[in-house]
Amino acid sequence: MSPVPGTERLKAVLDTNIVTRELPEWICELGKIKAISLVENRLRRLPQGLGSLRELRVLLLQRNELEELPASLEGLALRDS
């Protein structure tokens, strides 16, 4: 069960200009998520479990302050856009 009620069937997260440096760990529990767009934020790190989102097809992170990607994303077919 997701820690945020009503997000069990959520398929997309779209947000820009949020004022956080980290994406919350609970995002990795959204098993049905297909797209995450966090363009133009101040993100410095992503949760380690992000690679466990097997349904995730789109991850947009342009114009952030990421220092590295989580090891769980290694081996994925990534495309730079």
Per residue in 29-77, pLDDT tens?
Answer: 888 888 888 888 889 999 999 999 988 988 888 899 998 889 988 877 7
Write down the pLDDT at residue 4: 58
Write down the pLDDT at residue 1: 45
Domain range list for the chain: 12-70
Write down the pLDDT at residue 32: 86
Torsion of CA 60, 29, 53, 63, to 10 degrees: 20
Sign of the alpha-carbon dihedral angle for 59, 62, 67, 68:
positive
Q: Which residue has the higher pLDDT, 12 or 35?
A: 35
Distance CA 70, CA 19 (A): 21
